[in-house]
Structure 1
Amino acid sequence: MDRRTFLRGTAVGAGTVALGGSLWTSVAGAAPAQPGAGPYGALLGPDANGVRLPAGFTSRVVARSGRFVTRTLHLWHGAPDGGACFPDGDGWIYVSNSELPLVGGVSALRFAGDGRIRGAYSILGGTNVNCAGGATPWGTWLSCEEVPFGQVWETDPYGRNGAGARPAMGRFKHEAAAADPDRRVIYLTEDEGDGCLYRFTPDTWGNLSSGRLDVLCAPAEPVTGPVTWRPVPRPGDWLAGTRNQVAEARHFDGGEGAHYRDGRLWFTTKGDNRVWVYDAAAGVLDIAYDDGLVPAGTAPLTGVDNITGRPNGDLFVAEDGGDMQICLITADATVAPFLQVTGHDGSEITGPAFSPDGRRLYFSSQRGTSNSPLAGVTFEVTGPFRDAA
């Protein structure tokens, strides 16, 4: 019997799993998250856009790859990926990466307060496989290149300032970034089968041009528990690789999305379909969700990828493949589908992000219905998102 099969049996038999679960218990009331009824009810049939949503929610398409964005002369990019929203007067801006090789970058959609699109433009171009990223507290978007020796690019969502590379944040196969303003660090995931979790401490908060790159260190077993951080000696050494320079580094199976809130970092790993939670104050790592720790055949969330959250503590996790769903993990550790895109079976869901008021959710189907990076579709969902957990 392999370890995941054993753990699955433990979860089914006991209801919870003692994998350092006290952290997740203190956060959400149970550990790890288990399938259950979501707070918005069952998904209805597909709407005109092929999106299944709970009652009261509606979708619209706001951009399609290779087509002009409504009322603009901007062609929306191919392979839309990671994204985030930024306030803009009475409206907001949604930025979206392009995961195309060599001609990647970032585009932005500008919305008026009533939701009308009032502009679209590029804020980064000519980069390589821009996958996920993260917003900074000072209003920039970190766009991460998912290639060996890739870089983090800091961009201006408002289009006023040019983009710049931030090599001090390490040269590796970047995935996502999440800012921790409490400790004044940026967490970084790495999309490798033996990737690491990193923490960048800038010399000056708000200036990412220089600083120290650390790697999370812990033994492979036990899976959860206390961790430490150690400096990566040569963050730009492409021969050695950042993940190979510190012997004590903890390796993760395909780092993906990252989201920070209230002293905790939530990040995902696609190789083992896990959502992790790192308590930054306590220095403890735990598992929030693992598809191997739910009753066999009942896992609603597979192919875990990008992750975002709302102020009430709800987490929204996009699937790379799976059932083409965005699943919800509630603060009481229940996991359930929130939406599903139908007819896009060869695609993946990317870039989930909420408008600043939390009332609109943006995301993309990266390859659309034809499984082509030039057929991406970017959606908006509105409805009665709850404010309280």
Structure 2
Amino acid sequence: MHRRTFLSTVSAGLGAVALPGSLWQEAAVAGVVRGTSPYGPLGSPDGNGVALPAGFTSRVVARSSRPVGGILWHPAPDGGACFADGGGWIYVSNSEVPLVGGASAIRFRADGSIERAYRILDGTNLNCAGGRTPWDTWLSCEEIFRGRVYETDPYGVRIAQPRPAMGRFKHEAAACDPDRRVVYLTEDEDDGCFYRFVPSTWGDLSSGRLEVLCGGDPVEWRPVPDPAPGTLRRQTRHQVSQARHFDGGEGCHYANGVCYFTAKGDRKVWAYDAVRERLGSVYDGGGTLDGVDNITGAPTGDLYVAEDGGNMEINIITPDGVVAPVLRVDGHDGSEITGPAFSPDGTRLYFSSQRGSSGGSAGLDGVTYEVTGPFRH
């Protein structure tokens, strides 16, 4: 088990602090460095155009606008997550297209074969990222002006529900913190904010209080007066003058007392230490990772960060401060990597190339992959 932590010097005078948790603790260092992946170097691209370390294999599980499991897979696949399902599992994926948007799910049997696929959300707008909840629902977020969060059922039984109390803004990702019983939210604006939603009852997101992170050491959380504003003048991110702003908030992942989130304009992987209420960053450029976007993690403390652009890689950031690519998709220069998520047993990683090899803006050439191998978990 890894016991070291790293945290780069924080801008705006916050300084360097150490992250809590059994996997990220004690010593703070200057930042991550480009190094050797724990899985070794990438080999030549395989038959699917995916370059992987030795011992790993890939397969294509779905292509946009083509049949999979009884439905046509949606265009522009984006944020995703996995859910246990008896002996098998389910992978949920958003569709970042206007008007029809929504999300779909693929149910896998215990042997990895596809049992069926189905829609879990329809008629929404530019569903980008999101997040899973501890009670096994998927939060699908609209990346539009006054966008909403929809709570969906990955098992396809219950009807999706909008959660307006979580705010009306250009939503990106969500991450649940069961220790403090809050949900962290990112905002994809060049002056976006970082929020947390405090439900009235944990496990019920229909009501609660939306708060915004404000600068300081420690930081301060202040209530947003009007979480669902109806006019431009009352936009959510401009209601609290002390709010701290981030350039293009993207992915969000919580583990062991820390919420990690990315900001593409800042080119940082930020880290909010929820125990000490300090804000720092674990990646500030200078490595192989470019265009920081979706993020997920493993119980080992490893973070996996997908690139929007760059050279279409997923990079690992290890707790001992190394950043290195773990896969690359070749020939998809006009696309982005989206939706990284591990199967419940940690042996399979799912992700998509949102626009595929054509790079078309409609995302009709999107591809969803599975990589199997000896991942650390």
* Bin for the TM-score computed over the shorter chain: over 0.9
Cα gap change, 1:384 to 1:79, in 2 (>3 Å) = same
From the two aligned structures, give the one with the greater helix fraction.
Answer: 1
Report the counterpart of residue 128 of structure 1 in structure 2. 125
Moved more, 366-375 or 28-37: 28-37
SS of 2:123's equivalent in the other structure is strand
Cα RMSD after superposing both structures: 1.4
Give the alignment partner of residue 331 of structure 1, picking from 280, 299, 319: 319
- The AA in structure 1 aligned to 2:220 is T
SS of 1:374's equivalent in the other structure is coil
What does 1:1-389 correspond to in 2, within 5 Å? 18-19=9-10, 20-24=15-19, 26=25, 30-69=29-68, 72-218=69-215, 225-239=217-231, 240-291=234-285, 294=286, 299-372=287-360, 373-387=363-377
- The AA in structure 1 aligned to 2:251 is G
* Aligned-pair CA distance for 1:333: 1.2
* Aligned-pair CA distance for 1:281: 1.0
* Aligned-pair CA distance for 1:194: 0.2
SS of 1:369's equivalent in the other structure is coil
CA displacement, residues 333-365 of structure 1 (integer Å, 9 cap, x when unaligned): 110011000000000000000001111000000
Residues paired across the two proteins, number = 360
2:112, 2:248 → 1: CA distance? Answer: 36
CA displacement, residues 66-92 of structure 1 (integer Å, 9 cap, x when unaligned): 0001xx321000000000000000010
2:9, 2:160 → 1: CA distance? Answer: 46
- The AA in structure 1 aligned to 2:193 is C
1:174, 1:16 → 2: CA distance? Answer: 26
SS of 2:369's equivalent in the other structure is strand
Cα gap change, 1:103 to 1:183, in 2 (>3 Å) = same
- The AA in structure 2 aligned to 1:327 is N
* Aligned-pair CA distance for 1:47: 0.2
Where do 5+ consecutive residues of structure 1 fail to align? 1-14, 220-224
CA displacement, residues 181-239 of structure 1 (integer Å, 9 cap, x when unaligned): 001000000000000000000101111010000000005xxxxx421100000001142
SS of 2:206's equivalent in the other structure is strand
SS of 1:86's equivalent in the other structure is strand
TM-score, normalised on structure 2?
0.93
TM-score, normalised on structure 1?
0.90
2:215, 2:189 → 1: CA distance? Answer: 18
Question: Is 2:306–2:340's contact at 8 Å kept on the other side of the alignment?
Answer: yes
1:16, 1:151 → 2: CA distance? Answer: 33
CA displacement, residues 105-145 of structure 1 (integer Å, 9 cap, x when unaligned): 00000001110110100000110000000000001000000
Report the counterpart of residue 9 of structure 1 in structure 2. none
Question: Is 1:31–1:287's contact at 8 Å kept on the other side of the alignment?
Answer: no
2:114, 2:29 → 1: CA distance? Answer: 41
SS of 2:237's equivalent in the other structure is helix
SS of 1:26's equivalent in the other structure is coil
Report the counterpart of residue 12 of structure 1 in structure 2. none
Question: Is 2:7–2:282's contact at 8 Å kept on the other side of the alignment?
Answer: no
1:47, 1:154 → 2: CA distance? Answer: 37
Moved more, 28-37 or 331-340: 28-37
- The AA in structure 1 aligned to 2:30 is A
Question: Is 2:7–2:280's contact at 8 Å kept on the other side of the alignment?
Answer: no
- The AA in structure 2 aligned to 1:95 is V
CA displacement, residues 222-271 of structure 1 (integer Å, 9 cap, x when unaligned): xxx42110000000114211100001000001000000011110000000
* Aligned-pair CA distance for 1:29: 5.4
- The AA in structure 2 aligned to 1:286 is G
* Aligned-pair CA distance for 1:38: 1.1
CA displacement, residues 133-170 of structure 1 (integer Å, 9 cap, x when unaligned): 00000010000000000000000000010001000000
- The AA in structure 1 aligned to 2:64 is S
SS of 2:154's equivalent in the other structure is coil
Question: Is 1:107–1:123's contact at 8 Å kept on the other side of the alignment?
Answer: yes
* Aligned-pair CA distance for 1:18: 4.2
SS of 1:127's equivalent in the other structure is coil
CA displacement, residues 32-51 of structure 1 (integer Å, 9 cap, x when unaligned): 21211111111000000000
Deviating above 6 A after TM superposition, structure 1's stretches of 4 or more consecutive aligned residues are: none
SS of 2:364's equivalent in the other structure is helix
